[in-house]
Amino acid sequence: VAEHFFLMLDEYRDRGDDGFEGLEVALCLDRAPSVRHLDEWLVPLSPICKLLASWRARGLKVQDVEDAQECKVFLSRGSELAGVLADEGVELQPLHEALSAVMGSSGCCLGVVTEGVAGELEKLLDFERPLELRDDPSGLWQCLEWSFWGGNDQGSPYEGGLRAFLWQLSLRQEEYHSYSVFEMLTVQFAYLPLCIHRTKAYAQKAALDSEHFGQSYMNCAPTHLSYAIDHFFVAGASDRAQETWVLMKSHRWQPVDWQSIHNTAIGYLPGIAHWPWWQAHPAVKPYIDFLERHFDLIAKERPALDWHANLQKDAFPATSNDKSWHKIEFWQDGALTDECDWTPLTCDALSTLGWGVAGDIVTRKLAWSIVEPGTRFAGHSGQSRRINIQVCVQGCEGAELHIDGTVVQYERGRAIAWQDGWRHEVRNRGMQPRWVFIISIPHPEYQLAWEASGAQWPDTLQRLNGKWRLAGPYDRV
């Protein structure tokens, strides 16, 4: 972790763009922004501006600043200012991003990180210790914050930040136990000012626009804490997952209202029903019946896909890139795809569903999902706005679906349905690839609210928050 931080910082330094002058203009020379807590804003701002002006006058770049006393003031006041900024909204987020980048790439931070990162990481990653957020008297964690979430040029191995790099490294090396290392860092950084501010800015925009709501990576804390809990379970560190859950539910800042550790959905909508199983719901049951009614036809045409090129590709490389999980999709951009040439009779049946572009209010799917024998695809949480309906066609014996802390054995020809936001994992203990045909549809309550609002997102949210729903629950497998 420490080695890659220094490599990332070196790469950024080689760019020659330290953001120093832009930060001084934005912070100190432009008219003071309108903030709710002006006194708290001005206290750290004055010494920072004096330092920035002094460094400019001496011809220093921020990466070259090493004076111990100046660095102490810069980091302490910068951390204080970041905390004030985190309480503000969308308008001041770019300023916070600039401050974080300059602090994180400064010579001051390089010194602090060089001196303290190894010891702090050893404490954080000591699994004999209870999970707790580390204190930050030296500014170490805020020095690392910008690097962890990203900031390097596009095309750089570090463009998505240290977290994304370590995630991909774990996948490439198939060392899933190492998830528990970098996700300990995720928990720490999720409660620091930059991620808090990104989360609040996302919430402001997401309340007004459905497309922004779907940009889950902008929802910093909930999205990455969801991944962290998922990955702790995948790594076999269930105790850390439980500790993270307890910390989240007890912390003074509550960025998301998850009600179960097994349902840490991406793009969580609290106003809709959250039930694991949905096959008996009146809006879902017709799809269950469709798959079971057309099962023989789907099964008959399946062998035509045995040599499909997608069987050599990963379905979702961010979850698994060991060629154990594949997909063949028949629906994209509001229409059936060219994959229908492989199974024309199946697609004739699918066309009777009457789908069109207007129904794509979530990422709908008509697809095959294939899991190789002797493998698993790692547990992950999807979208709360989507329901998945599946029927197992091939390799069902020994194949299991893990969801809501339970294990369900696939049965050939029997369709099941669950909400995508519940963490789900497939293990194929059998001797053949497991083939299921999947239909993914919008959550029924979400679809009803969307249609009743005339496709107006703010009104949709109001209706959902009013608990406007059908009877239920339909929570039995």
With H, G, I as helix, E, B as strand and everything else as coil, classify residue 253: coil
pLDDT in tens, the chain (477 residues): 778 777 877 776 666 555 667 777 777 876 555 556 566 677 788 888 888 888 888 888 777 888 989 999 999 888 888 888 888 778 888 888 888 888 888 888 888 888 888 888 888 888 888 888 877 767 888 888 888 987 645 566 667 788 888 888 888 877 778 888 889 999 999 999 999 999 999 999 999 999 899 888 889 999 999 999 999 999 999 999 999 999 999 999 999 999 999 999 998 998 888 999 999 999 999 999 999 999 999 999 999 999 999 988 888 777 777 788 899 999 999 999 999 999 999 999 999 999 988 888 999 999 999 999 999 888 899 999 999 999 999 999 999 999 998 999 999 999 999 999 999 999 999 999 999 999 999 999 999 999 999 999 999 998 887 655 555 556 555
pLDDT at 55: 87
**Residues linked to residue 403 through DSSP beta bridges, in sequence order:** 406, 424
Dihedral in degrees, nearest 10, Cα atoms 111, 112, 118, 119? 140
The residues, ordered by sequence, that sit 6+ positions from 234 with a Cβ below 8 Å of its Cβ are: 176, 179, 378, 379
DSSP secondary structure string for all residues of 378-443: EEE--BTTEEEEEEEEES-TTEEEEETTEEEE--BT-EEEEETTS-EEEEE-SSS-EEEEEEEEE-
* Token reading at 14: 């080689």
Helices (H), 251-320: 285-293, 295-301
Helices (H), 235-358: 238-250, 285-293, 295-301, 344-351
- The answer to whether residues 428 and 398 touch, using CB atoms and an 8 Å cutoff, is yes
Q: What is the sign of the dihedral through the CA atoms of 296, 297, 300 and 301? A: negative
pLDDT at 477: 53
Q: How far apart are CA 235 and CA 252, in angstroms?
A: 28
- The answer to whether residues 440 and 407 touch, using CB atoms and an 8 Å cutoff, is no
pLDDT at 379: 87
Closest CA to 386 of 217, 265, 227, 222: 265
Closest CA to 399 of 366, 375, 365: 375
Q: What is the CA radius of gyration of the chain?
A: 25
**Residue bearing tokens 């469709």:** 290
Neighbour-count burial for 267-300, b at 16+ CB within 10 Å, e otherwise? bbbebbbbbbbbbebebbbebbebbeebbeebbe
pLDDT at 28: 80
The residues, ordered by sequence, that sit 6+ positions from 119 with a Cβ below 8 Å of its Cβ are: none
pLDDT at 319: 75
**Residues linked to residue 407 through DSSP beta bridges, in sequence order:** 402
pLDDT at 13: 65
pLDDT at 466: 65
